[in-house]
Amino acid sequence: MKHPATLLIDGKPYLWRDLLKMRREQLEQCRRPDQPALFALKDDRRPAPERSAAGRYAQPSLFTLLEE
């Protein structure tokens, strides 16, 4: 028995090569980046403990800077 050249989906005939092409396009779109950044991201140059609120609370640096 020969395989059919088309596949019926919701009463519409689709060729296998067209379905494969659509699937490749879907996979290509998934590999692309989601959305570019709206503004340039800047590096956080603060010391590691000062980058989070917990780190700033655990190791405050205000008074150490005044002592110098």
pLDDT of 15 = 92
Q: Does residue 30 lie within any of the structural domains?
A: yes
What confidence category does residue 68 fall into, taking pLDDT thresholds of 50, 70 and 90?
Answer: low
Q: Does residue 44 lie within any of the structural domains?
A: no
Domain that holds residue 25: 1-35
pLDDT of 6 = 85
Mind giving me the DSSP string for 17-65? Answer: HHHHHHHHHHHHHHHS-S---SS------S-GGGGSHHHHHHS--HHHH
pLDDT of 25 = 93
Total number of domains constituting the chain: 1
Give the tens place of pLDDT for each residue, 28-49: 988 877 777 788 888 888 888 8
